Each structure stands twice: as structure tokens, then as C-alpha cells.
Amino acid sequence: MKRVILIILDSVGAGDAPDAAAFDSVGSNTLAHVVERAGIKLPKLCALGLANIIPLANNPPFIAPLAAYGKLCPASPGKDTTIGHWEIAGLILDKPLPVYPHGFPPQVIEAFSRATGRGVIGNVAASGVAIINELGAEHMASGKYIIYTSADSVFQVAAHEDIIPLAELYEACRLAREILQGEYNVGRVIARPFTGEPGNFVRTEDRRDFSLTPPPGGLVENIYQAGLEAISIGKINDIFAGQYFTGAIEAHNNSEALTGLLNAMDSIDSGLIFANFVDFDMLYGHRNDPIGYGQALTEFDRNLPDIMNRLRADDLLCISADHGNDPTTPSTDHSREYIPILVYGNGVRRGRNIGVRNSFADIGATVLEYLGVPISIRGESFMDLIKDLRISKTP
């Protein structure tokens, strides 16, 4: 029975998209810059073909990579998590989700304050760590929520766990999600709990995303309608507002995502296992930490054999990303980049360069074709390019 294991290395972009200037991210190349700055080697990923996609310092391309490889250009107007994952699933947006670089309008803030019974401080575009350090003490004294946003379509709600319990914070985010509809339909409302004392605040792993409901007809819906399993790991379930997944495995970091992925591969016999490895973006990209980013990539590379050793004869392994977040640039925001794609399996033509694809949605179309589900999403399958009738054993 066929399975697809689709792994998203959150924010591991592969260089400026052609329209990067329109998104204020010219000069970004998350993967290449991290590899160079951190001085790392990624032997397992490069054996699959990672260094054949773009040049990587001290990681020469393989003459005979084990996987098919290439990169994909974003088609939707945006550079955030929601848009990237939705596009992978064949949901290409024709207009961007709203952003609020100068803060949210009074009618939104007033409605949120009335609904929650608490006031608001902040309401600016800011780095999450910076604004918690700046306003955390005031929040603790006043009990008001810290509201902030970024270059992405997000409404972020920060609260100290000793001042506002997690259950109340999550309920406030659910209320915000109800308010932020229509013209204010931001992609995600994000709960940002933190602990500690002034001067030593720490964000916890109890973050939760409350996403806009995706448009109908995407990858996961098609798989569900075909009667196949669709399992989410990590924040995938939140990104798709829990729609059409037959199972969801919670994971707050890369280590938990790996454990959840391996357990799913041991227990799920068919369909899609869709995992997000969040640390690259959450811990290192947004904090401009290329060394930590590089260490996380090295750890994923080291753990890759555990994933590959669980592959079955009819499995297809796809490793990609959703956008960029170059920690070597001054910005702490996402960057508009190509994403890499590695596709491995017994029936995949090894070393096949699929070139540059016009949309992330080609991943979703390929997944559907491989699983034998009619392709009704936007995107063009590259299955014919990578198909190899010669069957070989997993190394």
C-alpha cells in the first residue's frame, strides 16, 4: 500500500525568488548562507542531492545522488507559513492575506478587548522576543495582553503563564480568530505564552496557531475523500485548521516531530504523513542565529537514516520547505525564496534533476498522482519526470 512521507523543514529556503524585491527580501539564501556561516556538512542530505540543487560551501554535489531533486518557485503572493503550506497543498492564493505593519485598526483591538475583558498593549510590528522583553513587566502589572504582528499575516497574543493561564490565552485567541474575518482575515492568530521574570523572559513551547480555514479542494481534502489516511505532525494540523486529517500528532519542536514521524511510519499503512520541523524557523531564523540553525540542520541530517530505514517498498519520501528565513540578514522576518525538493523511493529515478518548477503546488499534485488520487488541485505533477520502473532496495 502506497504512502507519502512529506517533510517540511520550516523556512529552509533555497535562494531569492525572482520577485524577492517586492517582498523586501533581496539577498536571502537561507540554506546556502547557514551552511557557509555555520561551517557545517550535511552528508546524508547531500547524498540525496541537496548540494546539487544549489551550491553549498564545503558540501560538493554528488555525481550520482540517490534522490530526484530540484527547486520550486512560489506562486502565491506571500512568504509566510500559511501561504507556503497551502500552496504545497495546491491552494494557490490570487491575492495576499492582509498584513498590518502599523498595527491593527482600533475596531479590531476594541472588539478583542471587549470579548476578552482585558486591555491591550503593544499593537505594533515587532520581533516576538524583543516585544516580550520590552512590555513583559507592564503586562505582568496590568494583566493586559501583548498584541503584535510581523511582516506576515499574523495576530500574535503574548501572555505570561502566571498572569493569564494557558486555557484563558487559548480562548482569547479563539475569540480573536472569530473577530479576524472578512477584510481582517489574517492567516493565523498565534498564542505566545512566556514565563520568567523581567530581564529573563522565556517563550514556552505551548505556542498554538489558530489558522484561517483553508479554501476547499486541497491536497489533504482530496486524500481524505479518497478514503486514505492523512496524518499531521507538528503545526501542520493548525496550519490547515484541522481540516480533513484523520489523525494529528502534537509536536512542539524538531525532536518531538521526529519521534512523532517515526511512530507514524511504524503504524500508518497508507496515505499521507505530513510533518513540519519547526525549530529552524521558530528558534533560529527569527532570532538571526545561523549557528543554531546550522546545528539543527546537522541534527536533522544525522537523524535522516532513522527515517529512511523505516521506508517501505512503496513509500515516497519528499523533503522540502515552505519559505525562507535567512538568519544572516538584518531582517528577522521570513524571506521570499525558492524551496528545495528531494524525492526518494524505490520507484524514483535517482539523480533526476527536475529543474525549477513554477509553483510549490507541484508537490501536492505529485503526491496525489503517486497515491492514485485524481489531481484536481492547481499544480503540475512531476511524477513522469522522476518515475523509474527499475526497482532497487532502500540503502
157 bridge partner residues: 147, 191
Specify the pTM.
0.92
pLDDT value of residue 298: 98
pLDDT of residue 392: 42
pLDDT at 393 over 70: no
pLDDT in the model for residue 390: 54
- Mean pLDDT over residues 79-88, rounded? 95
In the structure, what pLDDT confidence band is assigned to residue 79 with cuts at 50, 70 and 90?
very high
The reported pLDDT for the residue numbered 347 is: 92
Enter the C-alpha cell of residue 188.
493565523
Instruction: For 106-210, give the CATH class.
Output: alpha beta
Mean pLDDT computed over 320-326: 98
DSSP 274-286: EEEE-HIIIIIIT
Rounded CA separation 149/104 (Å) = 9
Which residue in the block uniquely carries the three cell numbers 517533510?
7
Residue 266: pLDDT band (50, 70, 90) is very high
Range(s) within the chain of domains with CATH label 3.30.70.1250:
106-210
pLDDT at 151 over 90: no
Mean pLDDT of the chain: 95
Q: Where in the chain is the domain with CATH 3.40.720.10?
A: 3-95+213-386
Q: Compute the distance between CA of residue 37 and CA of residue 56 in angstroms, rounded to an integer.
A: 11
Q: 184-193 pLDDT, tens per residue? A: 999 999 999 9
Listed range (26-35, 55-64, 95-104) with the worst mean pLDDT: 95-104
- Residue 394 pLDDT: 38
**What is the average pLDDT across 213-222?**
96
Tell me: the pLDDT tens digits for 341-371? 999 999 999 999 999 999 999 999 999 999 9
Any idea which of 262-266, 292-296, 389-393 has the lowest mean pLDDT? 389-393
In CATH terms, 3-95+213-386 corresponds, of 3.40.720.10, 3.30.1370.60, 3.40.50.1000, 3.10.450.50, to 3.40.720.10
32: pLDDT strictly greater than 80: yes
Spatial distance between the Cα atoms of 104 and 101, rounded to a whole number of angstroms:
8
Grid cell for residue 143: 494583566
- Is the pLDDT at 391 greater than 70, yes or no? no
Residue 146's pLDDT is 98
